[in-house]
Chain A
Amino acid sequence: MNHKREKDEHIERLYYMKEKETDSTDALKTAMNGNMDFGLIDELSSEDMIKLSADGSKIKLTKKGADYGRQIIRAHRLAERLLYDVLGGDFESGACEFEHIVTPELVDSICILLGHPKLCPHGTPIPEGQCCRRSAKTAHSSVIPLSELKIGQSARIAYVNCKSDQQLHKINGLHLRPGVTATLHQKYPTFVVECEGSNIAMDEQIASSICVWKGLDPL
């Protein structure tokens, strides 16, 4: 178990190679920046995660390995999306202001999903939340599309799901962006949203691509 991280790294790289359709051991070496661990390779091979060719020049994931890799990549990429979209994507400074950005509802949801953990990774206790006392089992989505708000309701925008950068710029240009409060004025014949003092008409497709925090009173 203590090599899990290293194992995962190897499988991750092999998965990338699979995506790029290469299977040479040399490619893995380069991908690992020379940190390739042959002991680990043997171990993975015995776990039926990877398959080496007879001369050792080709290496690829087995079905089991590929399934496992898929999970890692999924988690990795979802986390990326979370950091990137929801938390503002401040990659460069590495400063993640998680606790300043999430709502209590979202924290509860995360807590439920994690099974109400009692201790943090450093071993200090995590204060109990509402959800722990109720031992809630199902997490409710804290983010809903703007189109599902009631008429007259206001909510803070969490993120905008855009089909293109162009569209994102257009929506951003009207100041429909994470953190601002939007009020839904009407849904029919089309959506009208008030935001930062201006009224904006939009179709359902755009209204449902703007996601807002549910049940959060604007200031």
Chain B
Amino acid sequence: MPILTRKEEWDRCGLSNSAEVKKIAIVGLPNTGKSQVFNNLTGTYTLVANYPLTTVEIKKTECLINGQSYEVIDTPGLHCLYIHSEEELQVRDMIFSEKPDVIIQCIDANQLKQSLTLTADLLELEIPMVISLNAIDETAKKGIWIDSGGLSRALGIPVIESIAVNGIGTNQLKAAISKARIGKWSVKYGEIIDTGMSAIVPQLPEDVWFKQKAAVLLLLDDPFLADYLTKKYGVEKIAQLTEQVNRVKKQFRGNIAHTVNNTRIRWMDELAENTTRRQRIEPNQFATGFARLSRHPVFGIPILLMILFIMYLLVVNVANVIAGWMDQALWAPVEAKIDSFVTIGWLNEFLIGDYGILSLGLANAFLTIMPILSVFFIAFNILEDVGYIPNLCVLTKRIFDKLGLSGSAIMPLILGFGCKTMATLTTKSLKSKKERYIAIYLIAFAIPCAAQMALNMSILGRMGVRAFVIAFSTLVIVEIVAGVALNKILKEEERSDFLQELPAIRLPNPKAVIIKTYYRLWWFIKEAVPVFIYAAVAMFVIDKIGLLNATKNALEPVMTRFIGLPLEMVDALIMCMARHEAAAGMIIKLIESGKLNYVQCIIAVTITTMFVPCFANIVAMIKQLGAKRALSMAVIINASSFLIAGLLNWLLVGVFKL
């Protein structure tokens, strides 16, 4: 075997030096609770959910664990170190460049075998490791028993059982970090490959870490690594290396990837076999039954509609009532007081006028929007925790096929119903440019994010279920037409495969749901409320200098005649550019003062849902597409949203006589 560079390095540095900050990288398959473990270890909060792709960017934070400072790194999901997507490459690059001092591999106990592929890869890196075996309660319920002690002995590293969502096992994990050690990896790939690797290792440039792993990856034809080495060291410097790699490949007549894979598979099977016992009869579980029904071709759609309807009822009958009460009980008296005390005209208007910082800013944010979001987020977070949402990609597969989105583009689009910005970032994993463009367009266009959905329900709920159905059917049709059109316009590329792991359906964990709702609201207060206030001030100023009226006059023909909305809706559209929630607050005020009728209400919701994606989403679009294409996309989206609103107005008023 070649010289173990990593081990030597370890001995030289010594593990005991506690003054320096050590790095812990949390890695694992998608949806194995990495972010949850990150939250448990660091005491911070990153968004967690029961589905893959929740984390798209690497996140770092420093914290103190048992008196030692650590930098803890949370990463997107990774299947193995032989890479198939950009996010995965990002994680591998992080490991290769940051050289973490400890790796925590998160393993979902339900999928021990699947995770061992990555374990094998990580063991080859010879970095001290700990395994966090999550969701151990679920395997027990399924009648599966994992011998974590045996696993630990076989791998030579600590294996800590945990139920991460409840924080159980966190202290043991913290204690185990200092006991992390380089695991046992004694698998042989056969003489030619093993001696071949020993011949390749000395040819690698001196400062390459993980030489052993690099040698295997080169033999496996890893495209990224070869490119990286060529770029960094130049073709000449690695010529000998390439030659050596080719020599080994030639010498080995079969397919190296097959042989290496098969050797590891044997190792994994044996290990899993020796450490897992399952009872013969699998208990019938409510969760698996529900999972199957929720993606069933017949029952799936009614279940989806029912879930939507329940959320609608919650928003209309609970959230709207709370918001109305808060407005009456908390805001009305304050407003009256201010009105009687502040007699200076402009100041009164600045505080509580149409564009006052208290009325349009604070009261709007805290008393109108917050209650609606709180109720909706509880329901939505339950859905996320259950793992329901990814099942939609099964139900909607055929529709997406027609939209020119095959395979891997479906999940990002579905995630758009949670947060459009995150969804746009996940399109990074799409290889086809055409699919990426269509996906980003469709996410930005007519998909309402969770907050938008909540507010749409709240607004339309004031007009009845039919209004909600009309508005959402319109959005669905718009999305389909846009997809089909883009598919026709953009030139054909190879379609990607659709291969998506679905998370196991779980019963929601109340604590996790409450914590998540708390954080979502906290982020709303932190990020959105200041924007509400700035926007109110800006509106106040442009109103005072007459710019607002000029704009309204200019837009008059389009707004009132074509779209059929009152001119006050211009305010809402301007607010939309700052924050969609702020616009919703204005629309609610317009409804309350009787300025929007049934049809106008539907149109107002449709246009604000489509109009300018939020600022964060535009930033994400620029990141994915470049400024020019992202901004032109935003312009096209805005133009079409006006056009569609006009068309809808004509249909509802002119044709259906509503």
Query: Using a CB–CB distance below 8 Å, which chain A residues touch chain B?
Result: 84, 88-93, 165-175, 177, 179, 185-186, 188-190, 192, 196-203, 205-206
Contact = CB atoms under 8 A, between A and B. Distances in A.
Contacts of B253: 91
Nearest to A202: B499
A186 B114 contact: no
Nearest to B29: A173
B497 to A, nearest CB: 6
A177 B269 CA distance: 12
B111 interface: yes
B277 interface: no
B262 A89 contact: yes
A93 B269 CA distance: 20
B17 to A, nearest CB: 37
Given A92-B190, A185-B292, A196-B113, A165 B257 contact: yes
* Max count, chain B CB within 10 A of own CB: residue among A175, A196, A199: A199
B398 interface: yes
A63 to B, nearest CB: 31
Given A190-B398, A199-B504, A201-B499, 19 more contacts: A84-B255, A89-B255, A92-B259, A169-B84, A171-B499, A173-B79, A174-B114, A175-B113, A186-B296, A188-B297, A189-B397, A189-B398, A198-B114, A200-B501, A201-B295, A201-B500, A201-B501, A201-B502, A202-B497
B93 interface: no
B345 to A, nearest CB: 62
A28 to B, nearest CB: 21
Contacts of A177: 265
A100 to B, nearest CB: 13
Interface string B367-411: 000000000000000000000000001111110000000110000
B657 interface: no
Contacts of A192: 295, 394, 502
A84 B254 CA distance: 8
Nearest to B258: A89
23 contacts: A89-B262, A90-B259, A91-B252, A92-B193, A92-B252, A172-B117, A173-B84, A175-B114, A186-B297, A189-B395, A190-B394, A190-B398, A190-B498, A196-B111, A197-B142, A199-B502, A199-B504, A201-B499, A201-B502, A202-B499, A203-B498, A206-B498, A206-B499
Nearest to A88: B262
B106 interface: no
A198 B110 contact: yes
A200 B296 CA distance: 14
Contacts of A91: 252-254, 259
* Max count, chain A CB within 10 A of own CB: residue among B297, B498, B502: B498
Given A203-B497, A205-B497, A189 B259 contact: no
B261 interface: yes
Contacts of A197: 110-111, 142
A91 B84 CA distance: 26
B147 to A, nearest CB: 17
B568 interface: no
B98 interface: no
Given A173-B80, A173-B114, A201-B498, A89 B394 contact: no
Interface string B2-40: 000000000000000000000000000000000000000
A81 B265 CA distance: 20
Interface string B535-566: 00000000000000000000000000000000
Given A92-B191, A189-B297, A198 B501 contact: yes
3 pairs of A and B residues whose beta carbons are closest in the complex: A91-B254, A190-B397, A173-B79
B160 interface: no
A41 B80 CA distance: 53
B411 to A, nearest CB: 10
Contacts of A165: 221, 257
Interface residues of B, number: 46
B254 A169 contact: no
B114 A203 contact: no
B480 to A, nearest CB: 15
B501 A199 contact: yes
B84 A170 contact: yes
A106 B441 CA distance: 51
A189 B394 CA distance: 6
Contacts of B84: 166, 169-170, 173
B311 interface: no
B499 A200 contact: yes
Contact of B114 (A93, A170, A196, A205): A196
Interface string B179-209: 0000000000011110000000000000000
Contacts of B394: 186, 189-190, 192, 201
Nearest to B498: A203
A189 B399 CA distance: 9
A201 B191 CA distance: 39
* Max count, chain A CB within 10 A of own CB: residue among B113, B265, B292, B394: B394
A188 B111 CA distance: 26
Given A90-B259, A173-B79, A189-B297, A199 B499 contact: no
Contacts of B114: 173-175, 196, 198
A197 B288 CA distance: 11
A170 B396 CA distance: 23
B312 interface: no
Contacts of B255: 84, 89
B472 interface: no
* Max count, chain B CB within 10 A of own CB: residue among A167, A171, A201: A201
A92 B255 CA distance: 10
B645 interface: no
Contacts of A88: 262
A186 B295 CA distance: 9
A52 B522 CA distance: 87
Contacts of A172: 117, 261
B621 to A, nearest CB: 27
A146 B190 CA distance: 32
B499 A174 contact: yes
A202 B411 CA distance: 12
Contacts of B190: 92-93
B255 to A, nearest CB: 6
A186 B54 CA distance: 26
A166 to B, nearest CB: 6
Contacts of B297: 186, 188-189
Contact of B501 (A174, A185, A206): A174
B445 interface: no
A165 B82 CA distance: 11
Nearest to B407: A203
Contact of A89 (B192, B221, B254, B504): B254
Contacts of B257: 165, 168-169
B49 interface: no
Nearest to B115: A175
A175 B262 CA distance: 12
Contacts of B262: 88-90
A55 to B, nearest CB: 34
Contacts of A188: 297
Contacts of B393: 201
Contacts of B72: none
B297 to A, nearest CB: 5
Interface in B98-149: 110-111, 113-114, 117, 142
Interface string B241-283: 0000000000011110111011001000100000000000000
A189 B300 CA distance: 10
Contacts of B261: 172
Contacts of B406: 203
Contacts of A93: 190
A16 to B, nearest CB: 15
Nearest to B497: A206
